[in-house]
Amino acid sequence: MAKVLVVSPDKAGAGALPQGFAGGGVVQTYLEGDRFPLQLHLHRLTAGQSLGIGPLPVECVAYVWHGEAESGGKAIASGSSIIVEQGQSVTVSGEGEGAELLVFSAANAPAAQSPGGHVHLLTPDRVPRYGSGEGHQGGLHADADCPTCSVWLHENHFPPAEPLSEEQQKGGIHSHSEDEIIFVIDGEMRLGSKPAGPGTALAIAADTLYSFSPGPGGLSFINFRAARPSDIKFANGHSMSETGYWREKVSRPEYLELAS
């Protein structure tokens, strides 16, 4: 398995609905289990088209990247997320001009599973956030500390920046103890001298050293893990608790429940 996979929108091939999904819409496959331990599919729904998610043997998170959707009588705006716990199901329909849903999950069920039994909705106004104005901002959608699920999803927003010097790039080199998927939702991420624009997914294996910086138009991305993060380890020998960092910044997400 490659330590870093970069999948740009033109490399995400048209595919069939993954197992455990039903309904209409167009599917783009970014990552599946034969390439990486985490999966990512993009589902495009026109107004009135529905996507059935589950029941699945793993937890998954659906993030509304663009557009509007509806589920269980609740309006779901862009920037919302839905956690579908294992064994549960939900139907999401496109509204207005339609919706684009990013669906993340582990490729295989873990040996020890969470209890499950719920479908959580987090609308943009309920996302715990820090930062404001033109500086760095973050939001936490899933903190892997739910009594019935263990997935993690956060968002980061960076203002425009000039290219980093070689010394600055070295200072930011770090790794995480879990496999992760980063998806660029807006702006540009620089990986060294290589730009990654909106719609690009980066699959980064656990314990892989890397660094990034925002592009001239800023950078917004979401980051998915299938389990609770532990320490961020820097190449210079320093480390920090990732969950500790977020707990100092924001409160826990308070979900709405969707009927399965």
Rg (CA), the chain: 18
* Residue 7 covered by a domain: no
Residue 156 lies in a domain: yes
Give the residue ranges of DSSP H helices in 55-202: 166-171
Q: Count up the domains in the chain and report the number.
A: 2
Domain boundary among 74, 100, 124: 124
139-148: burial string, b at 16+ Cβ within 10 Å, e else: bbbbbbebee
At 249, the pLDDT band (50, 70, 90 cuts) reads very high
Task: Please report which confidence band the pLDDT of residue 113 belongs to, taking 50, 70 and 90 as the band edges.
Answer: confident
154/187 Cα distance (integer angstroms)? 17
Does residue 69 sit in the same domain as residue 175? no
Task: Verify that 226 and 189 share a domain, yes or no.
Answer: yes
| Residue 119 pLDDT greater than 70, yes or no | yes
Give the C-alpha separation, 119 to 219, whole Å.
Answer: 30
Is 4 within a domain?
Answer: no
Of 83, 98, 124, the position where a domain reaches its end is 124
Is residue 130 within 8 A of residue 55, CB to CB? The reply is no
Token pair 């263990």 in the structure block, residue = 150
Distinct helix (H) and strand (E) counts, the chain? 2, 22
Using DSSP, state whether 72 is helix, strand or coil. Answer: coil
In a domain, 141, yes or no: yes
Nearest to 38 by CA among 109, 87, 101, 100: 109
Give the pLDDT band of residue 114 (cuts 50, 70, 90).
confident
Residue 59 sits in a domain whose CATH number is 2.60.120.10
Establish if 259 belongs to a structural domain. Answer: no
Whether 78 and 111 share a structural domain: yes
Longest dimension (CA), the chain: 52
pTM given for the model: 0.96
Q: Are residues 177 and 205 in the same domain?
A: yes
Q: How far apart are CA 66 and CA 133, in angstroms?
A: 23
Minimum mean pLDDT range among 34-43, 64-73, 156-165, 248-257: 156-165
pLDDT the model gives residue 260: 64
Beta bridge partners of 6: 202
- Domain ranges, residue 108: 12-124
Q: How far is CA 216 from CA 187, 202, 206, in A?
A: 8, 20, 29
pLDDT in tens, 125-150: 999 999 987 889 999 999 999 999 99
pLDDT of 154-208, one tens digit each? 999 999 988 777 777 777 899 999 999 999 999 999 987 789 999 999 999 999 9
Q: Give the integer Cα–Cα distance in Å for 136 and 116.
A: 34
